[in-house]
């Protein structure tokens, strides 16, 4: 009479031959009916093959649930555990990576996911899959309905010092390194759970490890630090941090957030200036929809109702074009008559009106391409043409990239100011960096 181990070998042979449906048929019609569950659960090969077969036949929920339910069985085994653990880990990883994922993470048993990560981490042969699965999972945690302590247990499975020497998974794509993923997502998790002081403490620790973190990661941590300080009412420190960040990271939303900080500190002049800079920087972008409405509110507050209405119309146009929900609060701000101009045209029209109405003409923040190189080398110079058609003079000494890698068409972002050159005003970059 065939034993469970004989059937396990048959399962294995079917899976090796990619006959996963036949493997499941063998399991469900013979193995389950002929053997007690306790006997079946003694075979790591059965656990491995059944998990694999369910997933290979696109029964992801069954496969992942089955694999996670057998972790206690694997924990009782003394040998051959790594093989099955790797399969469960890899299949869970493959299920979570797609967008949308094959398995909804919120439907998983979080305790079992934690158990799997611990078991994988404890085994040297499984360390690679342990880290890959861990990084995917902690990226998802801030978006899941998970209680604070459960989330903290996941983040504490690895400590930053354990991750510091691991490189980015695809370094040529400039992805964040594991230690950066840990700091960015852990701080986000703390912020979302309103643990603002803990968030500040974590950001402070991360920023003091400047050599371990990229400039981009430091910028994101600085931003979250400032926002957490804002939530705690420490507006002065929040503004100081955000001002430092605004000088380093030229992004419109940084100026939007800095502007809001100024307004909340009763500094309307600087608040207004930052909102205008945010509007101008980088051209039209549907992601700016809340900024457009906010500028409408500001114009209404300073008694410019006609311009305010145009900003509200711009916000409405963006939401309509993108198929986004239109809040009742926005509709209440609009007259019955609306413009038929598309959002990009309306943006450009408002850009001209706004420049005349609120003077911030001494500075320019933008993105574009290097269109002409006058002199090559680290002390060379040239011209940038931005997305609005402005021509900006720059020097390579002001750039954060090597002049050797640059050619016409090279995408950049920049900060510039107006200067007098041979009796005429022109834009001259004060900072240039790779887009």
As a whole number, mean pLDDT of residues 253-265 equals 95
CA 347 to chain CA mean position, Å: 27
Ordered by start, the domain boundaries in the chain are 1-158, 279-357, 363-434
Q: Give the three-state DSSP class for 58.
A: coil
- Assign residue 300 a region: left if phi > 0, alpha if psi is -120 to 50, beta otherwise? alpha
- Note the pLDDT tens digit of each residue in 41-84: 999 999 999 999 999 999 999 999 999 999 999 999 877 789 89
Average pLDDT, stretch 102-109? 94
Q: How far apart are CA 102 and CA 176, in angstroms?
A: 24
Residue 173 clears pLDDT 50, i.e. is over it: no
d(CA 177, CA 190): 20
345 exposed, middle or buried (CB, 10 Å; 0-12, 13-18, 19+)? middle
In b/e form, how buried is each residue of 29-44, taking b as 16+ CB within 10 angstroms?
eebeeebeeeebbbbb
Reduced to 3 states (helix: H, G, I; strand: E, B; else coil), residue 36 is coil
Q: Which residue has the tokens 């923040």?
A: 365
Q: Give the integer Cα–Cα distance in Å for 155 and 151.
A: 6
pLDDT class of 172 with cuts at 50, 70, 90 = very low
Average pLDDT of the segment spanning 84-98: 94
Q: Tell me what pLDDT residue 377 has.
A: 84
The rounded mean pLDDT for the chain is 89
120 — phi, psi (to 5°)? -65, -40
State the average pLDDT over residues 235-249: 90
Under CATH, domain 363-434 is a member of which superfamily? Nucleic acid-binding proteins (2.40.50.140)
At 118 the three-state DSSP class reads helix
Residue-level pLDDT at 63 = 96
Distances (CA, A) of 198 to 188, 191, 229, 280: 11, 8, 11, 35
């Amino acid at each position: 009479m065939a034993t469970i181990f004989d059937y396990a070998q048959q399962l294995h042979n079917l899976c090796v031959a990619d006959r996963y449906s036949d493997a499941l048929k063998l399991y469900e019609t013979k193995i389950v009916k002929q053997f007690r569950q306790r006997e079946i659960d003694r075979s790591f090969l059965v656990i491995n093959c059944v998990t694999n077969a369910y997933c290979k036949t696109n029964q992801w929920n069954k496969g992942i649930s089955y694999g996670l339910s057998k972790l206690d069985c694997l924990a009782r085994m003394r040998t051959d555990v790594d093989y099955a653990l790797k399969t469960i880990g890899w299949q869970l990883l493959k299920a979570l990576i797609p967008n949308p994922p094959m398995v909804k993470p919120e439907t998983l048993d979080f305790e079992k996911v934690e158990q799997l990560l611990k078991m994988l981490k404890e085994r040297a042969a499984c360390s690679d899959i342990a880290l890959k699965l861990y990084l995917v999972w902690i990226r998802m945690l801030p978006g899941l309905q998970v209680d604070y302590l459960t989330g903290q247990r996941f983040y504490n499975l690895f400590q930053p010092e354990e991750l510091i020497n691991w490189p980015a998974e695809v370094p040529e794509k400039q992805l964040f390194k594991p230690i950066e993923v840990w700091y960015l997502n852990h701080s986000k998790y703390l912020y979302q759970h309103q643990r603002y002081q803990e968030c500040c403490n974590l950001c402070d620790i991360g920023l003091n490890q400047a050599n371990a973190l990229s400039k981009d990661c430091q910028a994101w941590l600085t931003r979250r630090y400032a926002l957490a300080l804002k939530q705690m009412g420490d507006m002065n420190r929040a503004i100081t941090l955000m001002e430092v960040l605004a000088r380093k990271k030229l992004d419109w939303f940084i100026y939007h957030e800095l502007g809001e900080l100024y307004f909340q500190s009763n500094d309307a002049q600087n608040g207004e200036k930052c909102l205008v800079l945010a509007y101008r920087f980088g051209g039209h972008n549907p992601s700016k929809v809340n900024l457009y409405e906010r500028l409408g509110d500001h114009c209404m507050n300073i008694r410019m109702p006609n311009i305010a209405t145009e900003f509200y119309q711009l916000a409405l146009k963006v939401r309509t074009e993108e198929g986004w929900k239109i809040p009742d609060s926005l509709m209440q701000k609009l007259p019955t008559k609306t413009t038929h101009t598309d959002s990009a045209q309306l943006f450009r029209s408002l850009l001209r009106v706004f420049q005349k109405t609120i003077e911030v003409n001494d500075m320019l923040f933008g993105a574009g391409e290097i269109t002409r190189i006058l002199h090559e080398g680290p002390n060379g110079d040239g011209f940038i043409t931005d997305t609005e058609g402005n021509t900006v003079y720059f020097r390579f000494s002001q750039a954060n990239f090597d002049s050797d890698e640059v050619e016409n068409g090279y995408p950049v972002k920049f900060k510039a100011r107006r200067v007098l050159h041979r009796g005429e005003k022109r834009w001259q970059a004060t900072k240039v960096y790779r887009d």
